[in-house]
């Protein structure tokens, strides 16, 4: 029997891949007694779950909420009952149709000039310094400003957005390691976040503009296509889903370059390879680690009988390292063209995928053109302590080639 005590510990944030490998081989569908959740790690099983929403529901059942600290439930009922990502058809289909319009390839192409302008400004500021924090100076601000402008909220408040969404994500920790102070802060943060967006929505009802928030309000007031609650949860979801994840794509991409120094000169010589590089980054270090589903009925998965209402932790990060689909999964290979599951699959496939690909491409084009060489400041990497997202808190770099051997990859604070 596999020992599961180390599964939800900080060591796993740094390097979960050996643990995933053992799970895939020995217990691909395994219930973790301390949290009651079943972890699913093989590509084929993950794929099967994501393509069958009629069997594996996205709705957040009481069973999942029981896994969390009850004090964190405040305000979550609304998120759970009306947020796109937590809905099943037919409500999911109705909401998804509305939001799809904002993220069509044509709509995204129209954003290119602005994303380029912002990336240039941020990279110019980096190019003037000898040392910089890749996260703080580029990976965090770029997606936050883009999604704020798209929604029509003031990007000057981005430090608050970042804090609110960090806290929202922290609230999804399942390891029970949160202090009372942390829980109080998370709850307060959520209240502020909700109040801020409620005020913005009120304002748009009186004075609609030509931003996404106004479009959502119009769908509510003119077409009755959204409820007031749905407008709010959609705005919160876009704000959170649209920034932390892309931040991690950019940060994890730079880690990939630092750990594989042969890739950087290839990308500099041929920037057209940046999209292929980003797809491999998405596979190699998936910004979203785990999705959650609940069985609607008893079902057999990977040879294991699951009861109705079983809560599944669907580990896309582990599926992306399944050697039956990705030979030598630990190897970083920009020629791979991986069919990764980092944006999910099926009806919930990430609506923001074209936007994050655009932001990632332009951020790397500008960074590699203007800061052609950079190296790690000594010190361990500090990963965000989340089981849902995989990314760094900080990434201090200095311009110029490496002066010494890089610090141990994957080490954590």
Binding site for ligand HEM (CB under 6 A): 58, 84-85, 96, 147, 237-238, 241-242, 245-246, 249, 287-288, 291, 342-344, 348, 350-352, 355-356
Q: How far is the CB of 144 from ligand HEM (least distance, A)?
A: 11
Judged by DSSP in three states, 44 sits in helix
Q: Are 10 and 412 in contact (CB under 8 A)?
A: yes
Nearest Cα to Cα of residue 213 among 147, 156, 166, 162? 147
Residue 20 tokens read as 């995933």
Q: How far is the CB of 58 from ligand HEM (least distance, A)?
A: 6
Chain residue whose CB lies nearest ligand HEM: 352
Q: Which is nearer to ligand HEM, 189 or 356 (CB)?
A: 356
Q: Long-range contacts of range 114-119, CB-CB < 8 Å, 24 or more positions apart?
A: 114/146, 114/149, 115/142, 115/146, 115/358, 115/359, 115/362, 116/362, 116/366, 118/142, 118/145, 118/146, 119/359, 119/362, 119/363, 119/365, 119/366, 119/367
Question: Among positive and negative, which fits the CA dihedral 166, 167, 173, 175?
Answer: positive
Nearest Cα to Cα of residue 227 among 201, 203, 246? 201
Three-state SS for 146-182 is: HHHHHHCCCHHHHHHHHHHHHHHHHCCCCCCCCCHHH
Q: How far apart are alpha carbons 253 and 284 in whole angstroms?
A: 9
Q: How far apart are alpha carbons 25 and 28 in whole angstroms?
A: 6
Q: How far is the CB of 314 from ligand HEM (least distance, A)?
A: 8
Q: CB under 8 Å to 92, separation ≥6 — which residues?
A: 53, 58, 84, 347, 348
Integer CA distances (angstroms), 149 to 77, 109, 146, 157, in order: 28, 15, 5, 11
Judged by DSSP in three states, 30 sits in strand
Q: How far is the CB of 402 from ligand HEM (least distance, A)?
A: 27
Q: Which is nearer to ligand HEM, 189 or 248 (CB)?
A: 248
Q: Are 39 and 315 in contact (CB under 8 A)?
A: yes
Q: How far is the CB of 298 from ligand HEM (least distance, A)?
A: 22
Element (DSSP H or E) covering residue 118: helix 105-127
Nearest Cα to Cα of residue 349 among 103, 24, 144? 103
Q: How far apart are alpha carbons 385 and 9 in whole angstroms?
A: 9
């Amino acid at each position: 029997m596999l020992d599961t005590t180390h599964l939800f510990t900080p060591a796993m944030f740094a390097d979960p891949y050996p643990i995933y490998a053992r799970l895939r081989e020995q217990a691909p569908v395994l219930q973790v007694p301390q949290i009651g959740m079943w972890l699913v790690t093989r590509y084929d099983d993950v794929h099967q779950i994501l393509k069958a929403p009629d069997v594996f529901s996205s709705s957040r059942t009481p069973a999942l909420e029981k896994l969390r600290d009850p004090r964190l439930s405040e305000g979550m009922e609304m998120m759970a009952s009306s947020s796109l990502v937590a809905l099943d058809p037919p409500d999911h289909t109705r909401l998804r149709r509305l939001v799809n319009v904002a993220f069509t390839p044509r709509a995204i192409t129209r954003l290119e000039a602005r994303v380029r302008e912002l990336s240039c400004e941020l990279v110019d500021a980096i190019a003037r310094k000898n040392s910089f924090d890749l996260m703080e100076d580029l990976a965090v601000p770029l997606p936050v400003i883009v999604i704020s402008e798209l929604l029509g909220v003031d990007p000057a408040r981005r430090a608050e957005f970042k804090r609110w969404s960090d806290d929202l994500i922290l609230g999804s920790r399942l390891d029970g390691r949160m202090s009372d102070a942390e829980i109080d802060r998370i709850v307060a943060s959520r209240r502020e976040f909700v109040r801020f967006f409620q005020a913005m929505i009120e304002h748009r009802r009186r004075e609609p503009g030509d931003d996404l928030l106004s479009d959502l309000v119009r769908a509510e007031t003119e077409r009755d296509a959204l409820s007031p609650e749905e407008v709010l949860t959609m705005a919160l979801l876009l704000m959170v889903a649209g920034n932390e994840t892309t931040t991690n794509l950019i940060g994890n991409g730079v880690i990939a370059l630092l750990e594989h120094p042969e890739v950087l000169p290839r990308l500099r010589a041929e920037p057209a390879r940046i999209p292929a590089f980003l797809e491999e980054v998405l596979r190699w270090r998936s910004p979203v680690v785990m999705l959650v589903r609940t069985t609607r009925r008893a079902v057999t998965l990977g040879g294991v009988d699951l009861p109705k209402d079983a809560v599944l932790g669907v580990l896309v990060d582990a599926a992306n390292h399944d050697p039956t689909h990705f030979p030598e999964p630990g190897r970083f290979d920009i020629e791979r063209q991986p069919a990764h599951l980092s944006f999910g699959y099926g009806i919930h496939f990430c609506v923001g995928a074209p936007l994050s690909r655009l932001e990632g491409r332009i951020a790397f084009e500008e960074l590699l053109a203007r800061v052609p060489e950079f190296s790690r400041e000594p010190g361990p990497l500090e990963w965000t302590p989340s089981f849902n997202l995989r990314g760094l808190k900080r990434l201090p770099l200095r311009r110029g080639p490496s002066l010494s051997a890089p610090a141990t990859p994957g080490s954590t604070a």
